[in-house]
A = this chain, B = another copy of it.
């Protein structure tokens, strides 16, 4: 009987702030990082990998929280854990002392995500299937039994969810075949980071168009004149048939958001992303009303299913950008997909960061196959960074994710990458710390 014998959580940080990759109005100098969980079993060929994503300092806090969360898994038979993916999630969640730290938000929820992502990876590896296929082969009743319905039954009951899934079940196979042929459509954010020069922006927009993308996203919100100039450059390059999205990364209060977006309306953005606090359901609803027909998108900081429930109930958003490492793994993500279906809101998952693209490709495929059954208004984020550190990196061709084929959730990093970028003792960070000590000595 294969057993989980240990958990290793690593503080992996990439020095992305060097080049201002990932720079936006709120987050000027992130070091993209992962609290990286490895569930070790006594079968040398079976482990589970998962992570949550942060942007540097504080990644150690998530590591410590993930160690606390994962402790109850040690000593459990793999078959028990992956045979009851709803039960293990509820057991993990029910530790009331750890729950107090959220509840269900912030560091402790990121830690739950990291650990349960590893559990789902383990389940898919144990089954020998990519995660999207494991999910696509579960019955509607099984899916409902693993989803988290606590606090959402006023918006969606388990019976309603099962009925929606049953309606799509007979035609799952044909949608899998479609995606195997064409991939799942994505857009690129790689062109539009705020720290890039106009020349670099222009060049990257052109490269994106040449690579087949029909959607480009720009960061905005630091300076209105800059935003107008940058949007004009983007439209010049991509034309008016392609979609332009803009992303303010929570820079504005509600009245300012409305004013600023109206000033950029001439560039006909498809959506304004994160116009204000991610917690502000009523604020997003007010912005949405005011900036119509520009859509409102948010979700990468959407803390849990209760927040998304209210976003749907208040008709606050046009696009739901759930995050695969902030929501507490498939168990909670499923609930959000099911509510989105009922309320008619397309899900366009947030990605980028470290490994988020690797995860969300599974989610988008599963959504199309088993939940939404449509690609209308759906496009998944893609950022072309850091994929080289993953054993089974996502593959994007012609503006679309190819279907993952290897077993698991594509979450495993190369052992060499983990070793090299572990903070603060990995070779990358040790070298930096030696270099900055030398600089300090020279300048004193």
Chain A residues packing against B (C-beta within 8 Å): 26-31, 54-58, 60-62, 64-65, 68, 95-110, 150-154, 250, 253-255, 276-283, 286, 301, 303-304, 306-307, 309-310, 313-314
Contact = CB atoms under 8 A, between A and B. Distances in A.
A255 B100 contact: no
Contact of A107 (B97, B107, B154, B304): B107
B279 A282 contact: no
A99 B151 CA distance: 26
A124 to B, nearest CB: 28
B58 A61 contact: no
A254 to B, nearest CB: 4
A286 B96 contact: no
A321 B293 CA distance: 39
A277 to B, nearest CB: 4
A314 B95 CA distance: 31
A103 B254 contact: no
Given A107-B107, A154-B255, A154-B286, A97 B314 contact: no
A27 B100 contact: yes
A110 B101 contact: yes
A56 B313 contact: no
A28 B97 CA distance: 9
Contact of A61 (B96, B107, B310): B107
B151 A253 contact: yes
How many of these chains are in the complex?
Answer: 2
Nearest to A314: B282
Contacts of A95: 57
Given A54-B97, A57-B97, A254 B64 contact: no
A58 B151 contact: no
Contacts of A101: 54, 58, 61-62, 106-107, 110
A28 B96 contact: yes
Given A278-B103, A314-B282, A97 B154 contact: no
A306 B279 contact: yes
13 contacts: A61-B64, A61-B101, A62-B101, A65-B107, A102-B105, A102-B106, A103-B278, A104-B279, A150-B277, A151-B253, A154-B253, A282-B310, A282-B314
A245 B349 CA distance: 43
B58 A98 contact: yes
A280 B306 contact: yes
A254 B58 contact: no
Nearest to A66: B61
Nearest to A255: B154
Given A31-B97, A58-B65, A106-B108, 12 more contacts: A55-B100, A58-B100, A61-B108, A102-B106, A103-B277, A106-B107, A151-B253, A154-B253, A154-B286, A279-B303, A279-B310, A280-B309
A30 B97 contact: yes
Contacts of A62: 101
Given A105-B106, A106-B107, A98 B57 contact: yes
Nearest to A54: B100
A30 B279 CA distance: 28
Nearest to A24: B96
Interface centre among A54, A61, A153 (most CB of B within 10 A): A61
B253 A150 contact: yes
Contacts of A60: 64
Contacts of A110: 101
Nearest to A28: B96
